[in-house]
Homo-oligomer: A and B are copies of this chain.
Amino acid sequence: MFGSMQNVPLLVNGILDYANINHNEREIVSRLVNGTIHRETYGQAHLRARKLAQALQALGCGKGDVIATLAWNTHRHLESWYGIAGIGAIYHTLNPRLFAEQLSYIINHADDKFIILDTTFLPLMEGIADEIKNVKGFIVLADAGEMPDTSLQNVYCYEDLLDAQSGDFNWVDVDENAPCGMCYTSGTTGNPKGVCYTHRSNVLHTLVANSADVFALRSIDNVMPVVPMFHANAWGLVFAAPAAGSKIVNPGPNMDGASIYQLLTEEKVSFTAAVPTVWLMLLQYLEANKGKLPDLERVSIGGSAVPRVMLEKFERDYDVSVNHLWGMTELSPMGTIAQFKSGMEEMSFDQQMDIKVKQGRAPYLVEMKITDDDGKELPRDGKAFGHLVVKGPFIVGEYIKGDGGEILDEQGFFDTGDVATIDEMGFMQITDRAKDVIKSGGEWISSIEIENIAVGHEGVAEAAVIGVVHPKWDERPLLIIIKNDGADVSKEDMLKYLEGKIAKWWMPDDVVFVDEIPHTATGKIQKLILRQQFADYTLPNTKQAAE
């Protein structure tokens, strides 16, 4: 007897359709890997994404196929996401910072059918070509004149593929709960695990991201997603900006201070988002060059905790509002953002910074609490700390292929692995990572993996890796070793031993030799105590980096 509302599914391609109809003239500006600045409109991107969809179908791709991207933030990478999703396939972002073995593991685990990549990543892909035999071909984000020589087989030129198509294409109908995108976690323990976003989860995340107390993107905004698209679903900005009709300014591969500053000013960027390391480089550049940021209104910083000094510099010296953000791949990725509540606008600067240095409060559709080891909720008093668990329609329910088994508790909450406090006003602050991951420049380094390799050395009895504060990268790994009796092992020996076994940027900044490593009753290394012991430890070369 009841009427009904229209049955319109929540599909990400509707976002680009919306931008095409309502913000056709707004631009996507991109710095390409060849250094040039490229401009196109949402209208053009919409056409090109449909051409890519046709091209992918012509290559035999369709519903449920996984198509990987290994690329910097450019218009082509953005078009790829929509073109892939538009045939009911799944975009799968590959992180080029991963070690080759992890990359090939992920490509095989996800069953990637094609890989779309920047020219700069061809050597990386050539190096693992023998390990990823199921990949049917490679699409290089370049025009015909830019196509490099490569030993890869079945290589296609992106622009040639598009040129061969009309763009007269209707997105393929899929259920809103169909898989849409994939991103693997860095795998702090064991193999990386994959998160599969649905059309619905991406659309709901977009709506929340654009709400006034989150990113608050408006049509008048010029948005620069410095955060790479291969990093935690690009913090949702690839969907949020076109859904708001904002201009997009893609930095491509160049994230140094000068390059970022150039785009911020020339494109009058009003909103941007990135990890602290990028902003450290920008602030250093600004100070060295007496730069100003007259157009920049808001910057969202996440990936690792915002240093208070960075927060204060942006707010006081450059009149830019900083919003601390916390999220993870498993949350699409947004969990919290530090936006003021009533009364905080009138507080003193120092009080405001006390609030903004916290990771922030949950927006609508994110349910969040802290619990003790028995799953009992702990008080929201800013003092009690416990496991941070979350629930919501854009939070992971299970990993790809069921890896890790059942990951939700009885009430449907996902354990983030973070340990946090929540205060009376709902502001959450991360106090620890349960698994002791090291965060370097916004990327994670697995202490346990390095430890496992290090103990393979004949002279090592036990190894522990902890993060030590670093002025540029936030944290860098310190390798702590107990030698075998009578063994003669030097720092240089250990680093040489690790070389080639872990990614270069995972290499510990220093190695120290100790007589004892503290353990729990069950034999686990007590990282907390180790961190206390090395709290004042100065890594080599940090003085130079800080200047």
A residues in contact (CB < 8 Å) with B: 1-10, 14-15, 17-18, 21-23, 25-26, 64, 90, 111, 177, 179, 194-198, 200-201, 204, 206-208, 210-213, 215-220, 222, 243-245, 247, 332, 339-342, 344-345, 361-362, 364-365, 367, 391-402, 408, 412, 414, 425-426
Give A186 Cβ to nearest chain B Cβ, in Å: 17
| Set of chain B residues within 8 Å of A344, measured between Cβ atoms | 220
Q: A3-B396, A5-B393, A8-B365 are in contact. List 10 more A-B contacts (CB 8 A).
A: A2-B64, A2-B90, A5-B196, A212-B215, A213-B217, A213-B218, A220-B340, A222-B342, A243-B364, A247-B342
Find A6's partner among B10, B26, B90, B396 (CB 8 Å cutoff): B396
Q: A201-B5, A210-B211 are in contact. Are A342 and B400 (CB under 8 A)?
A: no
Chain B hits for A397, CB < 8 A? 3-7
In the bound complex, do residue A244 and residue B179 qualify as a contact, i.e. CB atoms below 8 Å apart? Answer: no
Residues of B within 8 A of A8 (CB): 365, 391-393, 395, 412
**Chain B residues with Cβ under 8 A from A196's Cβ?**
2-5
Given A207-B207, A364-B243: A3 and B195 within 8 A (CB)? yes
The closest CB in chain B to the CB of A369 belongs to B21
Whether B111 contacts A426 by the Cβ 8 Å rule is: no
How many copies of this chain does the complex contain?
A: 2
Q: Are A6 and B408 in contact, CB atoms less than 8 angstroms apart?
A: yes
Contact A4 B213 (CB under 8 A): no
Chain B residues within an 8 Å CB radius of A393? 5-10
Per a CB cutoff under 8 Å, which of B200, B208, B332, B342 touches A207?
B208
Known interface pairs A219-B340, A401-B1; A18-B364 also in contact (CB < 8 Å): yes
B345 touches A220 (CB 8 A): yes
CA distance A412 to B8 in the complex (A): 9
* Residues of B with C-beta under 8 A to A339: 218-219
A216 touches which of B21, B197, B212 (Cβ 8 Å): B212
The one of B2, B216, B395 that contacts A179, using a Cβ cutoff of 8 Å: B2
Bound-state CA distance A342–B365 (Å) is 30
Contacts of A245 in B (CB 8 A): 213, 341
| Contact (Cβ within 8 A) B342 A395 | no
Check A396 against B218 for contact (C-beta < 8 Å).
no
Given contact pairs A216-B216, A220-B341, A5 touches B394 in the complex (Cβ within 8 A): yes
Residue in B closest to A239 when the chains form the complex, CB atoms: B364
Q: Does B212 lie within 8 Å of A218, measured CB to CB? A: yes
Q: Which of B204, B212, B426 contacts A22 (CB 8 A)?
A: B426
A71 CB to nearest chain B CB (Å) = 22
A339 to B22 CA separation, bound complex (whole angstroms): 12
Instruction: Give A309 Cβ to nearest chain B Cβ, in Å.
Output: 26
10 contacts between A and B (CB under 8 A): A1-B400, A2-B400, A3-B397, A7-B393, A8-B412, A18-B362, A18-B365, A210-B211, A211-B244, A219-B341
Interface core residue of A8, A14, A195, A211 (most chain B CB under 10 Å): A211
The contact of A111 among B1, B9, B365, by CB within 8 Å, is B1
> Of residues A1, A90, A425, which shows the largest number of chain B Cβ atoms within 10 Å of its Cβ?
A1
Contact present for A21 and B398 (CB under 8 Å): no
Asked, given contacts A207-B208, A212-B244, A218-B212, whether A6 binds B395 with beta carbons under 8 Å apart, the answer is: yes
Residues in chain B near residue A10, CB distance under 8 A: 204, 393
Complex CA gap A400/B4 in Å reads: 8
Whether A399 and B212, one on each chain, are in contact in the complex, defined by CB atoms closer than 8 angstroms, is: no
Residues of B within 8 A of A361 (CB): 22
Return the contact of A342 from the options B201, B219, B362 (Cβ within 8 A).
Answer: B219
* CA distance in complex: A430, B177 (Å): 37
Q: Is B219 a contact of A213 with CB atoms below 8 Å? A: yes
What is the minimal beta-carbon distance from A481 to any residue of chain B, in angstroms? 38
- Judge whether A6 and B414 touch: CB under 8 Å: yes
Q: In the complex, A208→B364 CA distance in Å?
A: 12
Name A198's contact: one of B5, B14, B25, B412 (CB within 8 Å). B5
- Measured in the bound complex, the distance between the Cα atoms of B364 and A9 in whole Å is 13
Nearest B residue to A364, CB-CB: B243
**Residue of A210, A243, A362, A408 with highest tally of chain B CB at under 10 A:** A210
Bound-state CA distance A159–B458 (Å) is: 78
Complex CA gap A197/B18 in Å reads 23
A490 to B276, CA, bound (A): 80
Are A220 and B342 in contact (CB-based, < 8 A)?
A: yes
Which chain B residue shows the least CB distance to A390?
Answer: B6
A197 to B2, CA, bound (A): 9
Question: How far, in whole Å, are A14 and B397 apart by their CA atoms in the complex?
Answer: 19
Which residues of B sit under 8 angstroms from A213, Cβ to Cβ? 210, 217-219, 244-245
Nearest CB on B from A245, distance (A): 7
Q: By the criterion CB–CB under 8 Å, are B207 and A399 in contact?
A: no
* Smallest CB separation, A217 vs chain B (Å): 6
Determine the distance from Cα of A2 to Cα of B243 in the docked complex, in whole angstroms: 26
Query: Is there contact, CB below 8 Å, between A244 and B364?
Result: yes
Chain B residue at minimum C-beta to C-beta distance from A247: B342
